[in-house]
Structure 1
């Protein structure tokens, strides 16, 4: 971080994608690797359960308000984690919620309010600039739904969310790498190397405005 920065921002890694595609498993494995090297790690967990507890609709029933709540709550939780760790791993970054919202609108055949959509996009783009490394899981339709917590069983919506999360990242120009169901081992090596490199060179600033290629800036096909 630069000497005059107002706040120290740790290395941030955001993983997003539709449900039951290995996000939480990958993050836990990555956290374990980093902690073995005595790197302080904080995990920002999926907020879907908290949204339900707050009485907000999720998944195919997502609304503009519930999406804004998840994005805002996620951002505030990430900022709290900044104060406690060298590395913050985010299970569903801000663009993820926007992708789910757009999938929900398509499922219900509801057009988006352009004002609401613009507002959400501005928040997502602004905050995503704080992500150093972004991964998007790729749905393998043959992978079953996980059983570790209650899941939405609508496989069509699961696939639709996968498509819309990819579309949001592409549309908003958020650089990312893909995480396939059979590519976790390689992704763990790449992410660990990136994080350690960034920690070793704390003067490096993430700047989407420059033209220097960075890990994670490749657009998924």
Structure 2
């Protein structure tokens, strides 16, 4: 179903791969073009504050919370911007849940997982551009947030987020750790072209 909405750009991938840094640079660059930008923040710290299990402890319930709360925050942002930037687009939560199950060697309830996949697939139709960060094992964990030091799970999350995109047939671009400037330039050009087509922006 086609909805009237702003341009949606989502970034996803395992932790400490530069998602928030890239989005901050992108938001700054877009605002230099007189574009109204709203950013939907990563929900990890909020989940920790309210006591939801995250990372390799993810459950169906916590994953459902991440997906539905993230979608709700995106819908609110639609009201206030020409472009909405999403730090951890909806498929990310599903990838983390799959990674947690693999890490714990648990089999998921297929009905529950199918419900999550259906929700993510349906909502992902609204993303105009998805960028997936890639894990460079030589890069250390960031220090600006509380980070899980489990490098095995970090690698699993990288693999499973990518696999979700493939399984749900969601078009996306790869955001390599050494390619942020090129991706930034391409994304700004993409956004300007879309807005020009809609008669918005400079």
TM range (shorter): over 0.9
SS at 1:201 equivalent: helix
> Is residue 154 of structure 2 the alignment partner of residue 163 of structure 1?
no
Take 1:6 and 1:138, find their aligned partners in 2: how far apart are those partners?
31
2:80 to 74, 84, 95: 84
Partner residue, 2:44 = 48
| CA apart distance, 1:100 | 0.2
Take 1:61 and 1:9, find their aligned partners in 2: how far apart are those partners?
34
> Is residue 194 of structure 2 the alignment partner of residue 198 of structure 1?
yes
Q: Number of residues paired by the alignment?
A: 199
Take 1:66 and 1:7, find their aligned partners in 2: how far apart are those partners?
28
2:61 to 59, 62, 65: 65
> Is residue 150 of structure 2 the alignment partner of residue 154 of structure 1?
yes
| CA apart distance, 1:84 | 0.2
SS at 2:80 equivalent: coil
SS at 1:139 equivalent: coil
SS at 2:95 equivalent: helix
CA deviation vs aligned residue, 1:67-87 (integer Å, no higher than 9, x gap): 000000000000000000000
Unpaired stretches in structure 2, ≥5 consecutive residues: none
| CA apart distance, 1:201 | 1.1
CA RMSD of aligned residues (A): 1.3
| CA apart distance, 1:202 | 2.1
Partner residue, 1:186 = 182
Take 1:43 and 1:134, find their aligned partners in 2: how far apart are those partners?
14
SS at 1:150 equivalent: coil
Partner residue, 2:109 = 113
Contact 1:8 1:82 in 2 (8 A): no
Higher helix share: 2
Matches within 5 A, 1:95-114: 95-114=91-110
CA deviation vs aligned residue, 1:77-124 (integer Å, no higher than 9, x gap): 000000000000000000000000000001111101001100000000
TM-score, L = length of structure 1 = 0.88
Contact 1:30 1:188 in 2 (8 A): yes
| CA apart distance, 1:8 | 3.0
TM-score, L = length of structure 2 = 0.96
